[in-house]
Chain A
Amino acid sequence: MTGSDLEALLSSASREQRSSMRVAILYAILAAVSAVTLLGLSGWFITGAALAGLAGVAAVQAFNYLLPSAAIRLLAIVRTLTRYGERLQGHKAALLTLAAVRAGLFQRFVGAPDLSRASGDMAATLLQDVEAIEDRFIRTPATLGSLGGAGAALLLCGAAGWASALALLAILIVTLGASSLLARRLLPAPARQIQEAIARLKHDVVEYAVCSAELVAYAMRETVEDELHGRAAALDRVRFAFTRGEAMLAAFVTLMGGVAMAAVIGLSDASLPVTMLAGLAAAGAIEAIGAGVRSIGRDATVAAGIDRLSALVARTPEPPLQGTRLPGTRITIGTGAGVIAMQPGDRLAITGRSGSGKTSFLSCLAGLQDSCALAVCIDGRPLANCAAQDRRPLFALSPQDAQMIAGTIADNLRLARSGLSEAALWDALATACLADEVRAMPQGLMTWIGDGGTRLSGGQRKRLSLARALLAGRPWLLLDEPSEGLDVATEQKLKDNIIAWLDRTQSGLIVVTHRPAMLALADRQLTLAG
């Protein structure tokens, strides 16, 4: 997905929330206009009152004080209510838009999976960057509202004469233009460098943490800590540069506020009350566009986030399954005399020392990995010519790490296939020798197993993973060390159950193991040299 694709996703998601966004913008404009008018009108009122007071009783009698004083109170209330409405509607539009974007991003990501990057860390980055975009949506109404406030101030300044109004217009343009130039000069580089510095620091912390024993052995810890502090100081420096850039933008707005006030008052050719009205409104206008300027400042962070998100989902989606689906009726491993040819229902055990590539062979077959050290053909086609998504429907893998999703036992089992009945789940659990334990749990199938299944023991997780693979109903079952963490009696029972299941379903089996009981599942054995 390119950056414009991501923008397309964003705009299609935001289209549905257009009405909320419009209401939010309307509220924002009302809030900004009433804020500007409140200050301006108050200044006009006080000045007018002072002049009338000086001019004597007749002037006081003639001064209409009821309308402005009522308007001042009304504006105070309108400002409060509209700002509340703006925030609520703005957040509504942003939250619902980004909810759709998050889901859309996930869909696109799994549509073109890059398994090498599927780590929790990456997911966290993804969340952070989406939050930055959410922030941009939340700020949109206030940014547009501030322009409304500026417009109102220009109108009020018009009463003070052309010179004042033109001066304010020029100052507004200069403020926005210079801020955006300044922001583009000062912020994008540090925003990017902050992310790089954090990534670098994290990388180094991990690198050194895994060497902790060596650091102790050679008394290197303090040297390494100094090195890490140096890295962290580099991060602090770029963060400082970024903060300073933001602060300069804010200070610039403050400065222009004073300049605008002085210019409008100085150039006014109207009466003193109108002059004060214009001056205070001008200050209000600059304060209002401060929100817009802050927004400009944040854009650097948002842009960096969008770049990262685009890169993350930058792969073209896998083409949908074509008619040439593999039947998976013949699998050959190796070449020449030692070749192993497997027909449906055949059972093979793979052994070999750790690091000999047993696990990666299985994940290769299952379509989770593309480079395989062994010469494997499926239906006569070399593995390299069988697309990963064509291989996946052939194999049900119970991986070595028995990966689980955070959810219930049923959630994890139902991952295998859609439309599974409860009876089927119990059946699979019984085959995997886990049914009794699950039945004993207070909530049975609905038991929450924690993040990554941490509330289960290693052995339970293994068997749950096996049950899930059984439920997938694929022609080939791939098991990686299925009996790890089991006692001998359960292991024997598990072996008998798996054999009975294989006999019944006529599924093929490839099992990676070094345990004798599990070797007995297979009629043939392949030892990887590594």
Chain B
Amino acid sequence: MRATPPSLLWFADGAAAIAMAAALACAAHFGISAFDRPGFLASLAGLIIATILRASVQLAATGSGQKAAVTAKHGWRRRAFAAVLTAPAGSRTMLGEQVADATDRIEDLDGYHARFLPLRFAAVATPLLIAAAAAAASWVASAILLGTLLPFALGMILAGTAASRVAARQLDILGRLSGLFIDRVRALPIIIGFGAQERIGRHLAGATQEVATRTLAVLRIAFLSSAVLEFFAALSVALVAVYCGFNLLGLLPFPAPERLDLGRALFVLVLAPEFYLPMRRLAAAYHDKQVGEAAMQRLAALPSPLPEPSPALAPLLRPPAIRIEGLTVDYGERHVGPFTMDIPAGRMTVVSGPTGSGKSSLLNALMGLAPATAGDIQIDSMSLAMRSLGGQASWTGQSIALLPGTIFDNIRLARPGASDADVADAARRAGLLAFIAGRKEGLGTRVDTRGSGLSGGERRRIGIARALLRDAPLWLLDEPTADLDRQSVDLIMHEIRKASAGRTVLIVTHDPGIAAMADQHVSLA
């Protein structure tokens, strides 16, 4: 447990509470005699000033906690974003989970860092501060406060153990219910198809009712620990009040250990509820703790972010020859391969085959993004495991990544130093000029991830323009002409053929016309 700025601010909140109590005690002290009106009024002014201080401290503490959460979340995001962007391509179920990790799970950490952690420190430190301040006025009252801690701790251990056991069960029950809901909504097509709405609806109604009843049984126990907390908070006020009253009356059933006056007595009375306040605040943040810890457990399993491999390590200086040997890609729910083939240097190879035969997996494996479980890929007789093709290929895939900016900027991403003329030329050769002629801004049209009204064909052409601009020694093209009509296909393929002459080119396609252009044609079963 570390003293971070937000936790220290919550600690300072306790100090401000002490100031408020002191101001009130002064007011009572001066209030006894009718002649001390100025002192009385000054005390009340002091009370208001202390309250303003306390409110500002609370505001600062919350803000500072939120800042701490932002810092913590940023650290986790670095890992989660890197993981999701380097995840094996081609597995939809895994993608869903990874996206949830990179977004929802990280948001789950918010309350944990913003509230729970700072309050945890304050829950230990502030009561001690309050007890110390109370001791200055009445050591017996302070001892009473501290004395209630022992049975409180025992009660919390008893109730808390039972509560955390049932709380875990409750999370489980609720998790299963939401799972059931998510499942049935997802399965809506078959439910409707078979006309099973009524039956499934009745089943769900029964399940929700049952979960509610079971949750209630759990809560009966879970609320015990808060009742213990509540009881000792109330008891400490009552005990301090009764002790102080009897002390002031001189009616204690034992020899008075100290002599109190009204100011001291009121001071400790007002501090008594403050003693348990930090613990009550922490209890309110218990849900944040549960959710946050569950999220962290998941996120901790993410790999640490690796820097992008630098092509300088083993740059492709000339078109490579690629040998794929017994490569098997395993996505868990299905696997493809084994593939064995030779892709000769400086030639165009076309791979075709039915859906699901693993054509795209082959290209992704070359980028190091497929979970290869067996076999090897060799680039110029050097294993892919030892080198990376990252940043060294002209690529067009099924989807095109668009960054916020102009179409022009987006094409240039393929070769950041490219001149304006080169970018414009690539766009022209990809057939983009005709497409965007209708747009006022032309290549300066702004786009973002939502595409800003770009059609599938336009997106595809931006991808092709990137490949043309990059003009790498190796070209990897996945269905480069999908979404395009026959005439455009011929034009584009002509450009690709011309620009990639002498490069090592691997094209995955269904199109027999493109296969006919190739130097080599591989059919996957």
Q: Which of B181, B220, B273, B401 contacts A214 (CB 8 A)?
A: B401
Complex interface: chain B residues within 8 A of A222 (CB): 308
Complex interface: chain B residues within 8 A of A183 (CB): none
The answer to whether A210 and B248 have CB atoms under 8 Å apart is no
- A178 → chain B, closest Cβ, in Å? 13
- A207 → chain B, closest Cβ, in Å? 4
Complex interface: chain B residues within 8 A of A203 (CB): 449-450
B209 interface residue per 8 A CB criterion:
yes
Cα A248 to Cα B246 in complex, Å, equals: 41
Output the nearest chain A residue to B234 by Cβ-Cβ distance. Answer: A76
Q: Residue-by-residue, is B178-219 near A (CB-CB < 8 Å gives 1, otherwise 0)?
A: 111111111111111111110111001100110111011001
Q: Residue-by-residue, is A226-246 near B (CB-CB < 8 Å gives 1, otherwise 0)?
A: 011100100110011001101
From 81 to 129 in chain A, residues with beta carbon under 8 angstroms from any chain B beta carbon are 83-84, 87-88, 91-92, 95-96, 98-100, 102-103, 106-107, 109-111, 113, 115, 118-120, 122-124, 126-127
Q: Which one of A152-160, A401-409, A503-511, A521-529 is at the interface?
A: A401-409
A182 interface residue per 8 A CB criterion:
no
Complex interface: chain A residues within 8 A of B425 (CB): none
Q: Residue-by-residue, is A457-494 near B (CB-CB < 8 Å gives 1, otherwise 0)?
A: 01000000000100010000000000000000000000
From 181 to 236 in chain A, residues with beta carbon under 8 angstroms from any chain B beta carbon are 198, 201-225, 227-229, 232, 235-236
Complex interface: chain B residues within 8 A of A77 (CB): 231, 234
The answer to whether A279 and B186 have CB atoms under 8 Å apart is no
- A40 → chain B, closest Cβ, in Å? 11
The answer to whether A392 and B189 touch (CB under 8 A), given A110-B201, A208-B449, A250-B62, is no
Cα A96 to Cα B205 in complex, Å, equals: 11
The answer to whether A99 and B212 have CB atoms under 8 Å apart is yes
Output the nearest chain A residue to B227 by Cβ-Cβ distance. Answer: A84
B50 interface residue per 8 A CB criterion:
yes
The answer to whether A88 and B223 have CB atoms under 8 Å apart is yes
Number of interface residues of A (CB under 8 A): 139
Q: Which one of B338-346, B373-381, B389-397 is at the interface?
A: B389-397
Q: Which of A69, A115, A220 contacts B189 (CB 8 A)?
A: A115
Complex interface: chain A residues within 8 A of B234 (CB): 35, 38, 75-77, 79-80
Cα A167 to Cα B269 in complex, Å, equals: 24
Interface of A, helix, strand, loop or mixed by DSSP: helix
Q: Which of B28, B47, B104, B449 contacts A207 (CB 8 A)?
A: B449
Cα A273 to Cα B404 in complex, Å, equals: 69
The answer to whether B84 and A205 have CB atoms under 8 Å apart is yes
Q: Which of B54, B241, B244, B403 contacts A224 (CB 8 A)?
A: B403
Complex interface: chain A residues within 8 A of B56 (CB): 251
The answer to whether A118 and B189 have CB atoms under 8 Å apart is yes
Complex interface: chain A residues within 8 A of B194 (CB): 396, 415-417, 468, 472
Task: Please indicate which of the listed interface residues B73, B107, B186 has the most CB atoms of chain A within 10 Å of its own CB.
Answer: B186
The answer to whether A211 and B413 have CB atoms under 8 Å apart is no
B59 interface residue per 8 A CB criterion:
yes
- B459 → chain A, closest Cβ, in Å? 11
Cα A164 to Cα B238 in complex, Å, equals: 26
A53 interface residue per 8 A CB criterion:
yes
- A342 → chain B, closest Cβ, in Å? 20
Q: Which of A49, A211, A392 contacts B401 (CB 8 A)?
A: A211
Cα A506 to Cα B262 in complex, Å, equals: 98
Q: Which one of B293-301, B321-329, B361-369, B426-434 is at the interface?
A: B361-369
The answer to whether A53 and B248 touch (CB under 8 A), given A107-B201, A123-B185, is yes
A418 interface residue per 8 A CB criterion:
yes
The answer to whether A236 and B70 have CB atoms under 8 Å apart is yes
Q: Which one of A360-368, A376-384, A431-439 is at the interface?
A: A360-368
Output the nearest chain B residue to A416 by Cβ-Cβ distance. Answer: B194
The answer to whether A218 and B466 have CB atoms under 8 Å apart is yes
Cα A208 to Cα B56 in complex, Å, equals: 42
Q: Which one of B74-82, B125-133, B490-498, B513-521 is at the interface?
A: B74-82
Q: Which of A211, A225, A255, A418 contacts B55 (CB 8 A)?
A: A255
Q: A87-B226, A123-B178 known; 7 other A-B pairs, CB under 8 Å? A: A50-B261, A54-B32, A88-B223, A202-B99, A219-B390, A251-B56, A258-B51
Chain A positions within 8 Å of B, measured between CB atoms, are 35, 38-39, 41-43, 45-54, 60, 63, 65, 68-69, 72-73, 75-77, 79-80, 83-84, 87-88, 91-92, 95-96, 98-100, 102-103, 106-107, 109-111, 113, 115, 118-120, 122-124, 126-127, 198, 201-225, 227-229, 232, 235-236, 239-240, 243-244, 246-248, 250-252, 254-255, 257-259, 261-262, 265-266, 272, 275-276, 279-280, 353-354, 363, 366-368, 392-393, 395-397, 399, 403-406, 415-418, 451-452, 454, 458, 468, 472, 514
Question: Could you pull out 22 A-B pairs where Cβ atoms are within 8 angstroms?
Answer: A43-B269, A51-B262, A65-B251, A72-B238, A80-B231, A91-B219, A100-B208, A102-B204, A106-B185, A110-B192, A119-B186, A208-B84, A209-B87, A214-B397, A218-B470, A221-B82, A244-B59, A259-B48, A262-B45, A405-B187, A415-B196, A452-B187
Give 5 nearest A-B pairs by CB, closest first: A258-B51, A219-B391, A217-B395, A103-B205, A42-B241
